[in-house]
Each structure stands twice: as structure tokens, then as C-alpha cells.
Structure 1
Amino acid sequence: MIPGLVERTVAVDGSSVHVAHGGAGHPVLLLHGFPQTHLAWRHVAASLAADFHVVCPDLPGYGASAPPPGDDPAAYAKRVTAATMVALMRELGHERFSVVGHDRGALVAFRAALDHPGVIEHLAVLDVIPTVDNWAALHGAGGVFAFHLYLLAQGSGLPERMIGAAPDVFFGHFLDTWTAEPGAIPADVRAAYLAAAGTPAAIHAICQDYRASAFVDAGHDQADRDAGRTLTMPVLAMWQDPGEVVLPFDPRQLWASWAPDLRTRVLPCGHFLPEERPGEVTAAIRDLLGRQ
């Protein structure tokens, strides 16, 4: 449970979304990443709820949210998930809102901002780049660090069978190696993540999510780029300091190509920014929203 928030299940688009929400004021949607649940926002949401109405759902197929109807990777396209999140916010009474996403959630937030510019007032994306840019950047030894992108996108149930043999080992690998802050993900939260991700249904949903990125989402991004579409709202992009690692891309340059009104932050931590640097993340979100 996130202090100050209540949990409920909301019927949306023929499925159900589990959500924790609370606080009063401007609505802010917080979208988690892989392999997590809405608990990833426990520190940030509790702080923001003092001044905003925060909404923290489990993405479809993750946590306690049902998978989308239909067993096809296209049902997990970020365009579809973004539309589901917009419908969720409408069910909660919010026609316009700001959205903050980390990792997979940031890809959903990015798509929501592109597809629903009249709805999204501010966008923040944490430690991710757009799908089409990500695939273009992965080559050579750099692909080793993103092996899961290739594994999870395989068809024929292969990754489901491999991960299902030892789900705690597989998902625990990322929780343990992607963080630079000891204790940022305490044992009880880590256990909750592993329990949520390790069921056969969740493993399949996660694989479908990554298949959608490989075979659907990149095409949507490329079509928008070819059409010259950009983000019309203020955008914040934050990512971890890579240290001595030489990235095969420049995050600032990539996001600037999509976001004319861009601000950036680089934080000294690992991948899980909301859990490793919640104070800095919260302050940056408040600055983006113009409410200190």
C-alpha cells in the first residue's frame, strides 16, 4: 500500500485495471516499468499526493491488472495501452492530466502524449528513449546489455518456457543489477515484484508487451517521425548517469528531436530512478508542472 492512496479495480475497455490513487489537485498519472508494479512510485506518489491527485495503475497484464482482451501482441501496443490509460483517467473523472512514466511506462506515456495531445498537459519520461530510436541504437556489444529485448520478443512460447523455469532468477537479475543504490528496493517490495511477475499469465503478458515493441510500436514511432509529428506539451526527460559507459546514442539529442519544449535531468543512480532518487525525481516533476 502507498500511504495516502486507496486501491481499487476499474473496468476499462472490456478489461480491468488495478489502480492506487489519492490526493487532491491537478491529476498526474504515474506509469511503472519492467518488472515492477505501481509500487515503484510509492515514494514519489506519497509526496506528490500532498498537492496533486496521483493515479498509479498497474499496466495491463502486470501486477493486479488484467491483460488486454485478445491474445495478440498488437493488443499490447503502446498505442492501445495509452488509449486504455486515457480511458482509465476519464473513468476517474479526469479529461486532462499530466503523465510521468518510467521504462515501459514511459513508452506508454510517450505514445499517449503523441496520440492524445489535447489530453496530456505535461510529459515526463524516465530512463528510456523512444522504441524506434532504441532499436536503431542497439548494435554490437551494446546489445548484450539489452539482451532481454531480443529474448522476450521471441515467438512460439520460447521465452515463456525459459523464464517459467526460474522466474525469480530471471526477474531478480534485473532488480539486482539495474540498481546502484543498496536498499532502494527493499526485500518486501522485491518479493512483491517477483510474485506479481512470476505467474505464467504475467510472464506471457510481459513477453507480449516486448513483442509489441519489436513488431508494432517501432512502426508507429517511425510513421510519426516520417509525418513530422512532435510533442506539443512541455517535456521532461531524465536518465541515469552512465558513468564510464559510452552510450551508443545521446539521450538529450534524441528527445530534443521529438520535444521542442524539452528540459532534461541526469541523476547519479541506476535504472530505477523513482526508487533510487525519489526526492530528485519528485522535485523535477514539480518543476515541470510549475507547482513547487
Structure 2
Amino acid sequence: MNPSTHGGAPAAPRIEGFTHHRVPVADGVRLSAAVGGDPSGTPVVLLHGFPQTGLMWRHVAAALAADHTVIVPDLRGYGASDKPAEAADGQTYAKRTMAADVVALARALGHERFALAGHDRGALVAIRAGLDHPDAVTHLASLDVLPTLDMWDVLRGTGAAVGFHLYLMAQPPGLPERMIAADPDGFFGHFLDLWAKDPGAIPADVRAAYLTACREAVPSIVADFRASSFADVEHDAADRAAGRRLRMPVTVLQQDWGTALGFDAVGLWRAWAPDLVHRTVPCGHFMAEESPATVTEAIRALLLR
């Protein structure tokens, strides 16, 4: 991370050695992206999860940069990227819209085809990009998430309590935003604390950067989750009915939460991704920070398929 200071105050942490860009992608929306690595290497785009920013990829990005061009954006609505107001049709933060952002970003940076890895919310965007833009996405990695349609199917009974935030942010505009804005650090910090098996993997300055970014993005983060209750479900259901699948090689890294909730993660994933490698990783949810060597190795192995 970059330890430089401005006016005596510590600078916000960044991915060391990467340059930062503001790139127009659609309808006046600009994404903030860190770009670095070997310009002659094949491009890899890394998409962050909740409640984080692209900074979560700092270790993996630095490792992949040795022989790849690495692009690490903040998703629309998160971090330093633009946060357009949620439209009444619910499409502003649909994963289809966010996936189109990512493809436009890569093209603006000179890459028609690229590998894509996503964690959590970013993995949902990556899946949608793979379904909607199969000619652009060469390889796809998903970290610790199920496709949206399957996620809602497996959450039932008392086990669904683990996903209380999904139900909260699915509510109509107004209530969830007000509730979360009343104590954003408490809300977002809850997940940073609960989901990390190794809290030391997210040092204090990085945790503070995540909380600041989330505090400034409550409406857009809620809109992202709300879209997964409506628009994203509709898009996934239409693809399932049409028999669409991910045509590229896919690697999935997950915790063993399928056992606790009683579902077959491999079977669910194989229905979407015939060319699948599925691995259970013995760490917390924040894999790229808690076990970056494992994640880097898995992405490198995927790129060889």
C-alpha cells in the first residue's frame, strides 16, 4: 500500500505500484480503477465484494501484476466510482448494468477480451458478465458466493438469518437507507468483524477506508442489494429457462457453508458452469485478504485452462 501523506495526514491506502484512473463507462457514469502490472501480459479484471472496495485485492493484484495487466475497479455505487441515483425501473444497479460497466471499462483501457475474478457482490457481476458477454470474458473466478437465483433458493428457515441484510436491503426505498444511515459504521463493521476468521487480515487503515467508503454510499449499496431481489432474479431465471450457461472455464472458491445450510454447492454451480473447478477454502469470507496466496494460485491455474 502507498504510505504517502498529504498535509501531514495519512493518505488513504492504495494498491502499491498501480495508477488510478477515472473512466467513463455509460450514461455519464465513471468508474475508478487501479491499473498496473505487465502491459504485455494478458488482462485480468478483479471485482470487489461487500462491504469493501477494490482495495481488497491489494495482495492478489500485486502478485498477478508480475506477468499480467491487472485492472481493479470500484463497482458503480462503491468506493470512488460514481453513484447514480436508483431509477424507478430497478435497472441502475442490476448486475447486467454493472457487468456492462466492466466490459466498457476494459474496452476503454484497450482490452476486448479479459479474465474476470469477483468476490461476493463482484462475483455476481462477474457471473452476469460471463453470461451476457461470453466473447469478452475468457476465464471466470468466483469467490464465496452462489449465483443470485440459487442464493435465494437456499436461504430458508432459521438458516436464512445469516442473510438478514439481504432481506433488509430488499425493502422498498426509504426504510433500509434510513436504518443503515443511523449507524453505518456499526452496520458495515458488523460484517467485517463477523465474516473474517483472521481479523488481522484487514488492518486498521484498510478497515477505516472500507467504512468511510460505505458511509458515503449507503443509498447506492442498498440499491445494489435491492436489485438482487428483483431485476437480477428475473435475469437469472430467464437465462436458466433458456439453458444459457457460462461457456468459459470457471473456478469457484467457497467456504464450506453449503454443509451448514444443507445444499450441494458443486451441483448448483455445475448447472451454470460445465467447465468447473470448485474448491473449499479453509478461511473466512474475505479470501483475497485472509488467504491471498491460495486465491492467486487458483487464478493462475484457471488462466492455464
- Displacement of 1:8 in angstroms is 1.4
> 2:264 is matched with which residue?
250
For the aligned residues, what is the CA RMSD?
Answer: 1.3
Aligned residues: 288
Question: What residue ranges of structure 2 are gaps of 5+ in the alignment?
Answer: 1-13
SS at match of 1:229: coil
Aligned pairs (5 A) from 1:163-174? 163-174=180-191
1:54 Cα deviation from its structure 2 partner? 0.5
* Aligned-pair identity (%): 60
Find runs of 4+ consecutive structure 1 residues off by over 2 angstroms: 68-73
Contact 1:240-1:270 within 8 A present in 2 as well: yes
Partner of 1:8: 21
Q: Quick check: 1:84 aligned with 2:98?
A: no
- Report what 1:218 is aligned to: 233
For residue 282 of structure 1, what is the amino acid of its counterpart?
Answer: T
Q: Which runs of 5 or more residues in structure 1 are unaligned?
A: none
Q: What is the CA–CA distance in structure 2 between the aligned matches of 1:197 and 1:189, rounded to whole Å?
A: 12
Deviations 1:10-36 (A, max 9, x none): 111121100001112100010000110
Question: Which of the numbers 243, 260, 265 marks the counterpart of 1:228?
Answer: 243
Alpha-carbon distance, 1:71 to partner: 3.2
Mapped contact 2:148–2:232 kept (Cα < 8 A): yes
Shift of residue 248, structure 1, vs aligned partner: 2.8
2:136 partner amino acid? V
State how 1:59-78 maps to structure 2 within 5 Å.
59-68=75-84, 71-72=87-88, 73-78=90-95
Task: State the distance in 1 between where 2:111 and 2:59 align.
Answer: 23
Q: Which residue of 158, 178, 186 corresponds with 2:175?
A: 158
Q: 1:281 Cα deviation (Å)? A: 0.3
Residue 46 of structure 2 is matched in structure 1 by 30
Counterpart of 2:51 in 1: which secondary structure?
Answer: coil
Shift of 1:247: 2.4
SS in 2 for 1:183: helix
Q: Which amino acid is 2:297 matched to?
A: A
Aligned counterpart in structure 2 of residue 17 of structure 1, from 19, 25, 31: 31
Equivalence for 1:52: 68
TM-score (norm 1): 0.96
Matches within 5 A, 1:190-229: 190-199=207-216, 202-229=217-244
Residue pair 1:15, 1:69 contacting (<8 A) in 2 also: no
Contact 2:86–2:223 (CA under 8 A) maintained in structure 1: no
CA distance in 2 between counterparts of 1:102 and 1:248 reads 22
Matched with 1:105 is 122
Q: Alpha-carbon deviation of 1:182?
A: 2.9
- Match for residue 158 of structure 2 among 126, 129, 141: 141
Asked if the contact 2:193–2:199 (Cα under 8 Å) also holds between the matched residues in 1, the reply is no
